[in-house]
Amino acid sequence: MKPRASGLLLHITSLPSRFGIGDLGPEADAFLDLLAATGQSVWQILPLSPTDTASYDDPYHSIGAFAGNPLLISPELLADRGLLDAKDLRTAPSFPADRVDYPAVTAWKTRVLDRAVAAFLASPPPEFGAFCAREAAWLEDFALFSALKARQGGAPWARWPEGVRLRRKAALATARRTERKALERARALQFLFHRQWDRLKHRANALGVSLFGDMPIYVDLESADVWANPGLFKLGPDMRPLFVSGVPPDYFSATGQLWGTPVYDWDANRATDFAWWLARMNRNLDLFDVLRIDHFRGLVAYWEVGADEPTALNGRWVPGAARELLERLLRSGPNLALVAEDLGFITDDVRAVLRDFNLPGMKILQFAFGPDMHVHPFAPHNIGEDGVVYTGTHDNQPTVGWYDHDASPEDRQRLNDYAQANVTHENVNWTLIGMAMRSRARLAVTPVQDLLGLGSEARMNRPGNLEGNWRWRMPPGAITAGIAGALAALTKETGR
């Protein structure tokens, strides 16, 4: 990235598309063109991993931390490759333009992808075999886990027959034979996803745009990762978690947030020289030019909650392994383009790790205008070059919604005084965008909802509320020539 850069935050699923969900095809290309035309150097997205309805289609909960989400595969690019016909594309129903209807999208896209996979496997290209061999360390477990979960009617793997549950060698060999077709389908879908992703990444980089990805710190119990590596997590003899993840009470919830994923057994991870972690991080660093580690503080010390607790209140802080892991990662590649999500309860030990490893953290302007504004680290005058500044993130209200519903009258007055302007519902988004862009932070990122001046109806996620998240989509043509021109002018004015 440039010494001063800016970019937009928009998940792939939020792109316009006539197929009900944003994908890696023409609309992604059009968004890249817009970024380049307005001088943006960064496109930030959410995790690319596959989701399912059991996790409310949350990209931070996945059945495979190494895998790509087949719902992001572009039907149009498949048709360009001769894997679908134009008539296949015309079977798409009338999907909502402003949100993702995941059940409807999954039902239609599964049928279409099955046709594409059949055509692909009838005459696979030579690079398919090379891909499967190169990615075998994660791909084979992911493919088999997916096949077995389908065969067991979606039952939790802790209730599967003992042979496959405990990964007995003979049982796995039998399963690979009986599930041969399902394994080939899973491999093919991952190849098609990664071929489209590689195309998009090469195009982005050619336009001078870096792709900024996101890696959740935790993985789900119901994932290929935990099933294949149970000893790396704090599980009981019945393969169920002894403890689960979360955070204590915070801005988003008075009882904390109970995420429910198993926590790591760091002694067991040390014994493997962090092999699984290194493979996961290096894979993400291959996929992205810049990588955000979600809930970074959990690598330094994490909030551990008993698996039977109804809320996150009765947890405890347990030391993690951030320094050892980062030092080991540095030995495998010295240039780590990492950003730490350092929001929430941040202590001196977390700050020390960020400082010692030169990792930039995040600054959220919506949090800056409380009574302690003069000393708050997110206030524009306190933001240094090493931070990444945001108006808000996918977990926040869009700025207009924050101003209308969350900001107190006193917060609004402080913002008004700080801006030395009449800040209103109509201009609060550009007020905060301007503050972010004019700050000293090396990188300024604006969620597209804020660029468009949208309110609470466009919120991507409500932490602590499971349903109704991750569905927002940008309507076609929403970023008008006027909006693009204003963004380009501000980018040039602020040297980004």
CATH number at residue 235: 3.20.20.80
* Catalytic residue list contains 294: yes
- Looking up tokens 């090469």 gives 202
> Are 494 and 438 spatial neighbours (Cβ–Cβ below 8 Å)?
yes
Distance CA 176, CA 278 (A): 27
pLDDT in tens, 263-282: 999 999 999 999 999 999 99
Per-residue confidence (pLDDT) for residue 1, from 0 to 100: 61
Question: Given 294, 309, 349, 386, which residue is catalytic?
Answer: 294
Distance CA 496, CA 445 (A): 11
Residue 374, domain member (yes or no): no
Per the structure, the count of domains in the chain is: 1
Residue 465, domain member (yes or no): yes
Residue 164, domain member (yes or no): yes
Q: In 3D, which of 375, 295, 308 has the Cα closest to residue 340? A: 295
Residue 430, domain member (yes or no): no
Distance CA 147, CA 154 (A): 10
CA 173 → CA 143, 167, 178, distances in Å? 13, 10, 9
* Catalytic residue list contains 341: yes
Residue 381, domain member (yes or no): no
Distance CA 9, CA 43 (A): 6
pTM of the model: 0.96
Q: How many CB atoms lie within 10 A of CB 135?
A: 18
Return the bridge partners of 43, or none.
8, 211
Question: Given 341, 342, 411, 450, which residue is catalytic?
Answer: 341
Residue 435, domain member (yes or no): no
Question: Given 29, 184, 349, 395, which residue is catalytic?
Answer: 395
CA 349 → CA 49, 297, 329, 345, distances in Å? 30, 9, 19, 11
Q: Range of 482's domain?
A: 5-360+442-493
In the numeric block, which tokens belong to residue 43?
């496109």
Residue 412, domain member (yes or no): no
214: enclosing H helix or E strand: strand 210-215
pLDDT in tens, 5-56: 999 999 999 999 999 999 999 999 999 999 999 999 999 999 999 998 778 8
- The tens place of each residue's pLDDT in the chain, 496 residues long, gives 678 999 999 999 999 999 999 999 999 999 999 999 999 999 999 999 999 877 889 999 999 999 999 999 999 999 999 999 999 999 999 999 999 999 999 999 999 999 999 999 999 999 999 999 999 999 999 999 999 999 999 999 999 999 999 999 999 999 999 999 999 999 999 999 999 999 999 999 999 999 999 999 999 999 999 999 999 999 999 999 999 999 998 777 888 889 999 999 999 999 999 999 999 999 999 999 999 999 999 999 999 999 999 999 999 999 999 999 999 999 887 678 999 999 988 999 999 999 999 999 999 999 999 999 999 999 999 999 989 999 999 999 999 999 999 999 999 999 999 999 999 999 999 999 999 999 999 999 999 999 999 999 999 999 878 889 999 999 999 999 999 999 999 999 999 9
